Structure 1
Amino acid sequence: MSTRVRALLFLAAGTEAGGELIADAYHRVSSELAGTAGLLGNELLRCRDEPDRLVVLSEWASLADFQRWERTAGHRAATAPLRPFQEHAAPPRHGCYEVVATHH
């Protein structure tokens, strides 16, 4: 039996304007990924305590679906708009995040 999985992509906006840029990029990527096999939906979340930190949470039907998509040639191109904002430092251990946007 496959178990649904959730993948997290940690992002750093830097400024309030950066948060708007991330939201725009999120919507572009989500539109591009609409209909991807195994992708059940995703959400853009903003940290309540550090509003310049955001997370994209995507839900997949199975780990195999996520890994299959990750290996496709289009994966990097489809997610490129979010790449400049990707948080490379260690993500926070915990936080309270509010939903900014959702795609299903």
Structure 2
Amino acid sequence: MSNEPTRARVVFMVRVPLDRTGAFLEGYEKIRYSVAEGVPGHLLDQVCRSDDDPEQWLITSEWETLAAFEAWESSPDHRELVRPLAQCITERRSLRFLIHKETRRRTPATSPT
């Protein structure tokens, strides 16, 4: 395996009771650009709601390295920033992955001839 830094994807599966959905989304809205524009190593994130279970949510984020995510997650700033979200969550599961390969739609300039 290469010594090059490897991008990482972090996945949180969370449960938010229906009566807390508004507060959860409001909390996410308040922090999303603080994280996207101010946390070193953060590349993007998404918040997704299950089509089958409206209390089941998926939050994914992509990072330059797993170490960048871990540094942010262990910081006091992180705990304070995500507190409004955390107060809405009744169950939480976290998974961390190193991105091995990525496939995107080919554009005419990148299609093989």
TM bracket, shorter-chain basis = 0.7 to 0.9
Report the number of matched residues: 90
Amino acid at match of 2:83: A
Say if 1:9 and 1:86, in contact at 8 Å, map to a contact too: no
TM-score normalised to the size of structure 2?
0.68
**What is the aligned partner in structure 1 of residue 26 from structure 2?**
24
Matching of residues 38-57 of structure 1 within 5 Å: 38-57=41-60
Cα RMSD between the aligned structures?
2.0
Listed as ranges, the gaps of 5+ residues in structure 2 are 95-113
Contact 2:12 2:92 in 1 (8 A): no
1:62 to 65, 70, 83: 65
The TM-score normalised by the length of structure 1 is 0.73
> Is the Cα–Cα contact under 8 Å of residues 17 and 89 in structure 2 kept in the other structure?
no
1:20, CA displacement in angstroms?
Answer: 2.5
Q: Which residue does the alignment assign to 1:101?
A: none
Higher Cα Rg, which structure: 2
